[in-house]
Amino acid sequence: MKKFRSNKLAIFLFTFPALLLFIVFVFIPILQVFAYSFTKWNGISAPEFTGLKNYIRLFTDKVFYTSNKNMFIFAILVTVYQMVFATIFAIAVSDAKIKGRKFFRVAYFIPVVLSVTVVCQLWLSILNAESGLLNTMLRSLGIDFQQNWLSDRYKSIYAIAFVNAWQWMGYQFALIVAGIKTISTDYYEAAQIDGANAAIAHRKITIPLLAETYKSSLIIAITGGIKAFTEMYIMTKGGPGTSTYTLAYMMYSSAFRSKEYGYGLAAASMLVLECLAAIIVINAVFKSNDLDAVKKKKRRLFA
Amino acid sequence: MKTKFSIGRLVFSIFLWLYAAFSLYPLIWMVFYSFKNNNEIFVTNPYGIPKVFHFENYVNAWSKYDVPTYFFNSVIVAAATVIITLFCALLFSYATSRMEFKGKTTLRIFLSIGMFIPVQAILIPVVKIVQGLSLSNTRWSLIFPYVAINLAFSCMIYYGFFKGIPLELEEAACMDGANIYQTFFKIIVPLVRPATATLAIYVFLAAWNEFILANVLVGSNAALKTLPLGVLFFQGQFTTDWGGMGATMVIASLPAILVYIIFSDKVEKAMTIGGAVKG
């Protein structure tokens, strides 16, 4: 039996394919991102070491600040939109008294399974300034609120963030539905006996007990803002000017448009670091506050 | 008090229906306009059911705009990604969860780094590596990176599954004289079928809808483009044929929507364990 479980050849054959692919296509690339971010490289000839030059340039580049500002707008809008709607809808479909629960689940979730390009192309035709569905609708309703949704220097980022929030709301919704399933119904019965109505019961029980779920949701929403790329690429090309750039878009355009790979990789390494920082900060915040509170709450409920 | 409560309930359920409409209508609108001509889309009937169904939009999409090529590429790439990812992940997580060797925890943790690395960040080096291995302009240029990206998550899920199976299982097989390979394929693989099904859906959807890597790896090669890229093709050359674009988008979305409608619980589960693990 011992021999069976420590068969050297079998261990090698079993681990080798996965390790090989992972090392070649993920691990080496991530090392290269950091290594080449200290070089000047046009993608063809050998990279030339330039120390911190790319980073100094990055930190003095106006586009870098635009990108980070957009990241914040994107992350905050997406997070607020998704958390609010997803929580409301998840609580609603978890309530056996609501009719059409199955339909609601499908309706809210379905944009998630679509390709981002289809969703962007679709919203592109809805938000088009001249012929778009939204402006046509506003015009025929006689509402004077037609906008250049995607070609306005200040508003476009909100329109883009909205499209992302619209598509992925269903994802957060499904996460929270799964979280609610794990909460014991005893809590609600206890709350009812104490005279709490449904709204209070959810505020005092459901939401605090979903701390773990909210932590994952928050990480997904915020790192989503840092990584945002496809929406900009399809709907605005980063424009007008550079007003809808994000770090990922900045990396893409430095590398594949202006052939400054080293500079693009400096942006890419900032992207990785910002994602990691977000994960660490969110974990730390949840560890110090909510989880203690939840434990106390659980104890109180049982007492 | 009682009436106020039920009015609240009514308002609440109207709100649920409104958002459902808001979530679905853009898709329904897309299906509508895939059957319309430009005049109907922009002037006579922008919102509703087509007055005349222009099925020729689908015929055009299929015969004029290379949609069969994109569709074929998407099917090949997604299928190969699912098969190779699950095969590698099964083997790897079996070894790291149930076999005995030094450094197995290190190996497992090493591979799980993959979950924290955004595709966007490694885009440039992956392109260079694909070129270096002379994989450019082949479907492998997409399949290998897709497999590598999906491995970390797949291994994690399988690992959890294997940990829940009692070790005596293989002991019995071993007593009966089976070797490790027979045990693995005859006993272990069938046993983790539920995890395999969930992961297959997850990886399929990820590969079917992937855009960022496909865009730089095969974006300039019309013969290898996948459907998400095919949809964008209309931005340049065929902006006059909106109906044809709608038809292409419907064709591109249909497989994913069908998978979701048939396996809706499994899809939601597959996607959400992905999220929960990342936290």
Task: Read off the pLDDT of each residue in B256-265 and give the average, rounded to a whole number.
Answer: 86
Q: Is the model's pLDDT at B173 over the cut of 70? A: yes
Residues B245 and A121: beta-carbon distance below 8 Å: yes
Task: Report CA torsion sign: A77, A78, A80, A82.
Answer: positive
Ranges A129-133, A181-185, B57-61, B240-244, most confident: B57-61
Look over chain A and give the mean of its residue pLDDT values, rounded to a whole number: 86
- Cβ contact A107–B260 (<8 Å): no
Task: Read off the pLDDT of each residue in B39-43 and give the average, rounded to a whole number.
Answer: 76
CA neighbours within 13 Å on the CB side: how many for B197?
14
Among the partner-chain residues A4, A19, A24, the one whose CB lies closest to the CB of B174 is A4
- Cβ contact A276–B268 (<8 Å): no
Among the partner-chain residues A21, A229, A283, the one whose CB lies closest to the CB of B148 is A21
Task: Read off the pLDDT of each residue in A58-71 and give the average, rounded to a whole number.
Answer: 92
Count structural domains, chain A: 1
At residue A299, the pLDDT reads 55
The residue ranking higher by pLDDT, B7 or B224, is B224
Whether A77 maps to a domain, the answer reads yes
Q: How confident is the model at residue B276 (pLDDT cuts 50, 70, 90)?
A: low
- Cβ contact A25–B144 (<8 Å): yes
Q: For chain B, which residues make up each domain, given as ranges? A: 24-54, 64-278
- Cβ contact B260–A113 (<8 Å): yes
Whether A90 maps to a domain, the answer reads yes
Burial label for A190, CB within 10 Å (0-12, 13-18, 19+), is middle
Q: How confident is the model at residue B2 (pLDDT cuts 50, 70, 90)?
A: very low
- List of chain A residues whose C-beta atoms are within 8 Å of the C-beta of residue B153: none
Residue A209: beta bridge partners?
A: none
Query: Residue A20: closest CA among chain B residues belongs to which residue?
Result: B148
Q: Is A223 on the interface with B (CB under 8 A)?
A: yes
Q: How many CB atoms lie within 10 A of CB A96?
A: 6
Among the partner-chain residues A33, A212, A223, the one whose CB lies closest to the CB of B125 is A33
For residue A72, give the CATH number of its domain. 1.10.3720.10
Whether A107 maps to a domain, the answer reads yes
Per-residue pLDDT tens digits for A123-156? 988 887 777 788 877 887 877 777 777 877 888 8
At residue A165, the pLDDT reads 94
Q: Is A217 on the interface with B (CB under 8 A)?
A: yes
- Cβ contact B125–A29 (<8 Å): yes
Among the partner-chain residues A18, A43, A121, the one whose CB lies closest to the CB of B89 is A18
The SS3 call for residue A18 is helix
Q: Is the model's pLDDT at B167 over the cut of 60? A: yes
- Cβ contact A251–B99 (<8 Å): no
The yes or no reply on domain B64-278 and CATH 1.10.3720.10 is yes
Question: Domain containing A143: what range?
Answer: 62-302
At residue B3, the pLDDT reads 47
Whether A27 maps to a domain, the answer reads no
Whether A9 maps to a domain, the answer reads no
Task: Read off the pLDDT of each residue in A111-133 and give the average, rounded to a whole number.
Answer: 86
